Structure formats: C-alpha cells, structure tokens
A and B are shown apart, each in its own frame.
Chain A
Amino acid sequence: MTFVAKPKLHHPTLPQNALCYTRRDYEGKISTLCAGCGHDSISAAIIQACWELSLEPHRLAKLSGIGCSSKTPDYFLGQSHGFNTVHGRMPSVLTGANLANRELIYLGVSGDGDSASIGIGQFVHAIRRGVNMTYIVENNGVYGLTKGQFSATADQGSTSKRGVVNADSPIDLIGLALQLGATYVGRSFSGDKAQLVPLIKGAIAHRGAAFLDVISPCVAFNNHAGSTKSYEYVRAHNDAVNRLDVIPARAEIAVDYSAGETVEVEQHDGSRLRLHKIDADYDPRDRIAAMNYVQQHQARGEVVTGLLYVDAEAEDLHAHLNTVTAPFNRLEAAELSPGAAVLAKINAGFR
C-alpha cells in the first residue's frame, strides 16, 4: 500500500471545521501496516477527533516508542512534529518535551509491548507525575513487528497463533493507571469508532495524565480462536459502561437528558463530558469504585470499555512544579542568567 502516492486534491464537498480544515488536513503518510490492522482504525479516530476539536495540527506533538503502534504517528497529523523514540521510553521523552513547551498538546502513542513489557517503568512514572498528555496504548497482546510473540498484556491461558499457551499473568494497564493516579482513564476498541473518537477528544481536552487502553486486534498474529484480543472475542465480550459526548466550551446544549441517565463533567478548558449511562450504577468520578468494577467484570472475562474515570479538578506536572506560564524554550538569557553582579556575590560567599 505504500507504493501508491496519496492524492493531494481535496474533494470540494468535504466538510470543514471551525479552522476551515477538512479531515484530509489531519492525515499523514499512507500506513505501512497490514490491511485490517486495528491500529489504522485508531489513527483514523485520532484524525477525526482532532478535526472535530478544530485543533491546529502543528500545535500538537506526537511521540511514540518502537513497534507497530509506534509507527502510526507517521500516518496521521502530517503537519505535526513527531518523534519515534526508543523502545519503551516514549513517556520520558514526552515528559521532557512537555516541560520544554507547555503550550503544545502532547499525544503519546504506544503499544502493549512498548508500555507493559519493556516500558512498564516509564509508563508507571509518567502517569504518577501527572504529565499533561493523551497516552494511547494500542493493545493487541502481541509483538507484531517481530512476528507474534506474547506481550505482557496477553491473558493467561490465551494461545498464540502457533498454539503456545501463555502461562504468565497479564498486566492490566487500566488497573495500573487507576491505581497510579491517572486522572482520565478509558478503554475502547479499535472496531468501535463511535465510542473511541469522543474518548480521544475528552482525553485531549483533559489537563493531566489521560490514559486510553484501546484493544486493537493484530490481524496477522492475534486474531484467531484462543486469543482474547481478536475482533470476535472483543465484540462478544465488550461491556461498555457509558457513551461519551464531548461538548466544546461555549457550545449550546441541544438536548436535555433526564437526570439519572447522564453524568456531566466540566473540564478545565470549559468543555463538558456528557456521559450516557449504560450501566446505571457506574460513576466515573469514583476511582475506587471504578477499580472494583473493572476488576470484577474482567474476572468474568468481560472487556470493560467507556470512560472509566475522570477527575475534572486534576492538576498536571507543571502545576506540581509551579513553572512559569511561558514555554521554557522561549526564555532567553535575560530571564535565565542571574547576571554578573549576583555572581560576584556568590563568589564572595566562597571565600
């Protein structure tokens, strides 16, 4: 698929957003992933979400690690700077980039091998620090680029394409993220764009560590019977707790839902997360309850999806570090060097 150049012409009837951009303005290079790969659906959802939010593409920075999922930032937002870092270490690079310029939007794209196996340490600590980012794990339970080895999210007892049974316990990134203090936590499925797009929109609008675990079947190595990350399995076991609408700041509320059916949460930027309850008892503002619910349902083999937790009052790393509002990369010597007179005083203190 890489051998066909993408046409630059836009169809005149393509809808435009508030910036007069069409969806095409948010696309990137043509994907080199396998036909039917769940990751390409997630890339499409990211494009849709950014277009709907009317983001300026160049004001977003996209970072990734190594692996199939980490290649995808080349396939969306071609006008954004991207950084394909080293295996499992995207979180630290994103953290540093975020510190350097707090004005950009940071999107981290990773996989289950990248985040749960080699990069579990960096995943854990970036979440702990509350880095303002949207962290998406494209979770397929296998290493694709090296042809089908299990990753750390593969369920115990699930089988590989070659018939090997995975004996190790899986790492549940949702459970970890909740426990570590992520302030926006959701799970979705690459095959459910209607659910995924608003989750990404809400994550981008969130100030703080937003984590999305997106089950994304690997058509080449993990889409067979015996896999718990296949299209068929996830469709059969998808247990959605809610449906999300993201209402931009200042937008008029078109329809009123009756109380009890929806939960509404206003985020820092004024946007509102309107959650239509599917499970009437599920409250995404209660972290402990969310952890219990997810654990109980997962134990039954269900894949719990939706916006699982949100803390609209969250603070991010910049707030914790009390940094100035100006991006560090614009500060000059006048603002950073204490000057020769101060140095003379410092010298005097060393005598």
Chain B
Amino acid sequence: MATVQEETAAAVPVPLSAVNDFVIKFANVNGSGSASANELFAKSILRMGVPVSPRNIFPSNIQGLPTWYEVRVNERGWLGRRGGVDLMVAMNPQTWDADLAEIEPGGYLFYDSTKPLPRSKFRSDVHVIGVPLTQLCSEHYTVARERQLFKNIMYIGALSVLLEVEPDAIEKLLAEQYRGKEKLLDANRQAFQLGRRYVLDNLPHPIGLRVRRADNVGERIFVDGNTAAALGCVYGGATVCAWYPITPSSSLAEAFQKYCMKYRVDPASGANRFAIVQAEDEIASIGMVVGAGWNGARAFTTTSGPGISLMNEFIGLAYFAEIPVTIIDVQRGGPSTGMPTRTQQSDVLACAYASHGDTKHVLLLPQDPTECFEFAAAALDLADRLQTPVFVLTDLDIGMNQRLCEPLAWDDARVYDRGKVMTAEELDAGKEFGRYKDVDGDGIPYRTYPGTHPTKGAYFTRGTSRDPYARYSERGPDYVYNMERLLHKFDTARSLVPAPLPRSAAKPARFGAIYYGSTSPAMAEAIALLEQDGLQLDTLRVRAFPFAESVRAFIDAHDAVYVVEQNRDAQLRSLLINEFDLDPARVPAVLHYDGTPITARFIARAIGERVRTAAAQTSHAGAC
C-alpha cells in the first residue's frame, strides 16, 4: 500500500474484514466512460453467484459533474441501500473530501496515486490503496480518449485482485460485451491485465473485503425497471407509444422502441405493428394516447412528475369520458424541476386525484423490475377493462438501476382483456347500447369502437356532462347518476388490482408497517434488523390504489402502523387516512426524502426508536 498509509498506520483501526458483504462506491466524473466499467464490475460478482445491488447516483448533466455508482455486495441477498461505504474508489478530485468522509472507520480508499497528495488529504482511520492509473495509462496509450477510458477498466483490474473477483468472470463479460469487435476487446483486456499486474507486483493483496463464489443468485435476472416496463408494454399489446423526453423515464420509451424493432415487425411485409411518436410535449403525448385508446388501440405514455402536471386536463377528460389510458410515471424528486436525477415517491397524490373536479385514479405500485413488467402489462388490461386512466408509479431507483429480480414470465395462453366492447353483431342482435349506462351493476358501461356499425352504436364523446345515452345534459340527476357510477366503477377496480401482500412476524406483533414500491428491499432488511433487536413487526406491502379492504383490516389489527415512504408529506398515508377515514395518530409516518433511496438502517432506526417510545408510554400509562 502507499506510503501515506504506512506513516499513519498507528492510528488506523483494524481494517474492515468481510466476505460477500460490503459496500463499494465509485466516485467518477460524468461522461468519463466509467458507467460501463462499473457495471462490468457489478455483473462479474453476480456471475460468481453473489447478489449485488448497484445504484447510479448521477447529476442532471452530460459531462463534467460528479457521478457515483454504489454497489452493495451481499450474500444474503439484501438489495436495498445499506448506508455507509466500506471501499471508496475515489476517481473524482472535485468530490474528494466528501467521498473520503463517507468511508466507514477501518474502511478503504482506492485512488489514483500518480500525483502525490499531502497527508492532510487523507484520513488516519482509513486504509489507503494507491494505484498510479494516469501514469500507467500514459505509458501504454497515446490517444487522449483512450487514456481516459482505459483508466476505468484498469481500476476494475486492480480491484479484481484486491477483492479476489475471479478474472475469468470479467474476461467472459468483456468477451460478451465486445463480441465482433475484437480490437476493442483486446484493448480492454490489456487494460484489465495492466491493472491486475500492478497490484500483483506492488501491493498487498487481497484486502479485508473479499468476494467468494457462492450460489445465491439462481435464476434471477439483472435488469432495470424501465427496460422491464417497456417489455411489459410489448407483451401487454401496446401498439401506440406517445412520449416526451424526461428523466428518468426516457429510457423506457427508448427500450420500447428497441424491443418493438426486434419483435414487432411483420416478417412478411417488414412493416411495424407499433407506432412511436415523440410528441412536442406531454400534453400532446397524453392526447395521442387518449385518441388511440378511444379508437380501441392499446396505448401508453411514460413520463415523470412535471409531465403529470402538464397532463392533468387530459387525465380528467379520460376519467370523465371513460377512455382507457396507461401512464407510466417514473417518479423523481419534486416539486417543480426538483431533483431530476434523484428518486422519490412524491407523485402519489398528484396521480391519485389528478385533474380538476372530483376524480380518483387507479395506481399500480411495482416494487422491482419484475413487477414493472407485470404491472405494465396489467395496466393495459385494467385500462381497457375499467375504461379509465391507469397509472404505474415506479421511480428512478427502480427505473434506472439494474436490480436482481425474478425472471420475467409470460403465459402464451393469455388473452388480452379488451373490456366491454359492443360489436356490430351484438348491436344487430338488438342489444341495447347506452354508452354511459350501468347495465351489469359494476359501474362499467359498454363502448363501441368508431366505425363499428352503419346505423347503431355511434355516440358523441365529450368532456361535458351527459346522460346514460351520451346525450349532452346539464340536468342534476344525470350528472349525479354518472358521478356515482364512476365511484361504483372505482369500487369495482378494488377487486381487480394487485392485492396487498402481508407478512406476519414470527411472534404476535403489536405494531405494523405499510410500505410500497422501491422501499421494498430496504424494508425487508429493516425487518430482519429489528428482529435482531427483539422487535417484532408485521408488514403489508400495498401494491395498488384503490386500497383493498384488507389494508384497513391490517391497520385495525395493530396498535399503530408505520407508513414508510419516500416523500416529505406522507402522501400514501394521507391517501389511507382520506380513503378509510382513519385517525391519523394510528398511522405514524416514517419518511425519507433526500433524493437517495431509503436504507434499511434508516427504517430500522426510525421504527425502532418509535416503537420503544410507544411501548414505554403505554407501559407507563398502564402503571397509572
């Protein structure tokens, strides 16, 4: 190791030592080509059968600003952020001080030691590993861009020796990545070996943190939520995608395009069974989706908070005129432009009650890419079945980070649910058609597609009030009939959306927790942490709005239920209180909203403290 470390050796605590359980963070400069090298690192550990969960922490910028890639290696399979960093790969001088401060005592600092740094730039309780990356690159490469790019793969080589990552796993991944580009492959391999060679010849290795082959990955896949949701739209039969670029949702539309070009081209004619329009704004995006849905095609748009704000008028039209619409909202930090490259769950209320007047909308809340796939396809079915907007609320954490999750599954026998569409044959057979009439008692009326029949079933769609036969009406009873029917329809939705998933503690528990979406992996780990402390907690993962009755039953069955979410104003909690008319004191909020994904440590600490306080208070009250 570098001399700095030796000089301060006396002050250094025992180096952290862990096998298959540590956090490594790469601090890079945006646009320096580090992303693919870092991903390679994460994937190589997966190939060794050890679960990892990486997270991109990136700026709203293309080149120059700081960016981080945090990889949690965890054999037990905890995929949430743990909090803290055991090994920092500090490649960005701009953020050096903050990066250094994040390292756990006894942890490791990996840096480019080409230029000597004063002692004051290091911490005495951190082990320093210096590799002269710039110097090595200058010696071996002449082109400036190569000197930059190969620095990344070189530190991966160095780390592979330090952490005992199997070089074969990395070499194999490189071969897959550069298949058919032999020249690039050779250059990358060379850089990788240069990094390895330097450590093998000059530094003590391995360090206390190590990766050891295991068998804990299984059949699981490693994919980001936007890609999975795009596949859900392909499998779910979406033919029209209208969108406007916005972080963090753009890669969803782009993935939809990629897969459509691969799997949705008619082999006979070479023509496309899809249409993707990059609209002029989010208003036009949702307008096109409304038009396509009205005309019987499955259509979706993908956006983030600012887009939802713009779409509000159309969402109200689709709700009131009853048009199938699927909106995938990859949430980011709000309000306004907010933190466009950070994660939050802060569009819950804006979507649940979107648009003016009395409205309520169906929300689906996936926890990971697998559910992004399932819920995107389900949303297309539900929108047709319920003839209403259906929101899939993911977030940046799920959408833009690769996550280890169950393989995507599709049943070839599955038939799309097109809902209540009256055909020309049914109209000819004399079936009565009232576009806004509840004939089945579920609040859902029948519709016809334009062009169905020469003389029957045509109607005029409008955002104004109308009678059950779609005739313009400003009569109070007609308006009330319709609004009550819409409520009834929303009630029907309750039994059609994904049910909440309960988990009971090993022993009877007085307290519960409700959570949803990307909080899921951190929550699972937090429960284990709390159990270690002797604290039992029942949990319920809410997967949709409207809420099932079992959500109320769960709350009723506990002294208090903590609602854990990633926004400032406890939005899901507000929705629960409002929809179930709850006493707010029964559902204390646990909130994390700084833009970083919530951690197990945060949840366990927050709930642990409150449960202990609550328990102390009740025991005190009991004594009186």
- The distance from the CB of B465 to the nearest CB of chain A, in whole angstroms, is 12
Known: A86-B313, A328-B239. A97 touches B463 (CB 8 A): no
Q: Mark A321-351, 1 if CB is under 8 A from B, else 0.
A: 1111101110111011111101110110011
B621 within 8 A of A: no
Enumerate chain B residues within 8 angstroms of A81, measured Cβ to Cβ. 448-451, 458-461
Enumerate chain B residues within 8 angstroms of A104, measured Cβ to Cβ. 295, 450-451
Chain A: interface size category: 35 or more
Known: A101-B450, A328-B275, A343-B409. A82 touches B416 (CB 8 A): no
Report which of A103, A318, A328, A332 forms a contact with B292, defined as CB distance below 8 A.
A328
A73/B293 in contact, CB under 8 A: no
Report which of A61, A86, A339, A351 forms a contact with B295, defined as CB distance below 8 A.
A61
A99/B272 in contact, CB under 8 A: no
- The distance from the CB of A147 to the nearest CB of chain B, in whole angstroms, is 19
The distance in angstroms between the C-alpha atoms of A238 and B276, with both chains bound, is 42
Q: Which of B237, B288, B313, B461 has the most CB of A within 10 A?
A: B288
B263/A342 in contact, CB under 8 A: yes
A297 within 8 A of B: no
Interface hits, B485-499 → A, CB 8 Å: none
- Which one, B11-19, B138-146, B279-287, B521-529, is touching chain A? B279-287
The distance in angstroms between the C-alpha atoms of A340 and B240, with both chains bound, is 22
Q: Which of A57, A80, A323 has the most CB of B within 10 A?
A: A323
Known: A84-B464, A85-B290, A125-B284. A340 touches B412 (CB 8 A): yes
Q: How many A-B residue pairs have CB under 8 A?
A: 231
- The distance from the CB of B213 to the nearest CB of chain A, in whole angstroms, is 16
A170 within 8 A of B: no
Report which of B221, B223, B286, B458 forms a contact with A80, defined as CB distance below 8 A.
B458
A122/B280 in contact, CB under 8 A: yes
A125/B450 in contact, CB under 8 A: no
The distance in angstroms between the C-alpha atoms of A56 and B458, with both chains bound, is 13
| Subset of 17 A-B contacts with CB under 8 Å | A58-B450, A59-B451, A81-B460, A86-B313, A93-B291, A96-B240, A125-B279, A322-B270, A328-B240, A328-B298, A333-B415, A333-B416, A336-B264, A337-B236, A337-B410, A337-B412, A338-B264
**B287 and chain A: residue at smallest CB distance:** A92
A114 within 8 A of B: no
Enumerate chain B residues within 8 angstroms of A175, measured Cβ to Cβ. none
Enumerate chain A residues within 8 angstroms of B181, measured Cβ to Cβ. none
- The distance from the CB of B284 to the nearest CB of chain A, in whole angstroms, is 4
Q: Which of A93, A318, A324, A332 has the most CB of B within 10 A?
A: A93
Known: A92-B288, A94-B291, A333-B237. A100 touches B299 (CB 8 A): yes
A226 within 8 A of B: no
B613 within 8 A of A: no
- The distance from the CB of B408 to the nearest CB of chain A, in whole angstroms, is 6
Q: Which of A80, A85, A318 has the most CB of B within 10 A?
A: A85
B454/A338 in contact, CB under 8 A: no
Enumerate chain A residues within 8 angstroms of B298, measured Cβ to Cβ. 328
Enumerate chain B residues within 8 angstroms of A91, measured Cβ to Cβ. 284, 287
The distance in angstroms between the C-alpha atoms of A350 and B279, with both chains bound, is 30
A321/B272 in contact, CB under 8 A: yes
A83 within 8 A of B: yes
Enumerate chain A residues within 8 angstroms of B270, measured Cβ to Cβ. 322
The distance in angstroms between the C-alpha atoms of A335 and B289, with both chains bound, is 20
Enumerate chain B residues within 8 angstroms of A59, measured Cβ to Cβ. 451
Enumerate chain B residues within 8 angstroms of A329, measured Cβ to Cβ. 295-297, 449
A161 within 8 A of B: no
Enumerate chain A residues within 8 angstroms of B336, measured Cβ to Cβ. none
Interface hits, B68-106 → A, CB 8 Å: none
A58/B275 in contact, CB under 8 A: no
Known: A84-B462, A333-B415. A58 touches B451 (CB 8 A): yes
- The distance from the CB of A49 to the nearest CB of chain B, in whole angstroms, is 19
The distance in angstroms between the C-alpha atoms of A91 and B290, with both chains bound, is 11
B281/A61 in contact, CB under 8 A: no
Known: A324-B272, A347-B407. A58 touches B453 (CB 8 A): yes
B222/A351 in contact, CB under 8 A: yes
A323/B314 in contact, CB under 8 A: no
Enumerate chain A residues within 8 angstroms of B462, measured Cβ to Cβ. 83-84
A121 within 8 A of B: yes
B52 within 8 A of A: no
B451/A336 in contact, CB under 8 A: no
- The distance from the CB of B479 to the nearest CB of chain A, in whole angstroms, is 17
Q: Mark B190-215, 1 if CB is under 8 A from A, else 0.
A: 00000000000000000000000000
The distance in angstroms between the C-alpha atoms of A331 and B265, with both chains bound, is 13
B235 within 8 A of A: yes
The distance in angstroms between the C-alpha atoms of A58 and B452, with both chains bound, is 7
Q: Mark B440-475, 1 if CB is under 8 A from A, else 0.
A: 000000001111111100111111100000001000
A117 within 8 A of B: no
Enumerate chain B residues within 8 angstroms of A86, measured Cβ to Cβ. 287, 313-314, 317, 463
B242 within 8 A of A: yes
The distance in angstroms between the C-alpha atoms of A338 and B263, with both chains bound, is 6
B289/A336 in contact, CB under 8 A: no
Report which of A58, A121, A335, A336 forms a contact with B280, defined as CB distance below 8 A.
A121
Given A73-B460, A82-B461, 8 more A-B residue pairs with CB atoms under 8 Å apart are: A74-B460, A85-B287, A96-B288, A317-B275, A333-B237, A337-B235, A338-B264, A343-B408
A201 within 8 A of B: no
Report which of A58, A97, A125 forms a contact with B458, defined as CB distance below 8 A.
A58
B231 within 8 A of A: yes
B299/A351 in contact, CB under 8 A: no
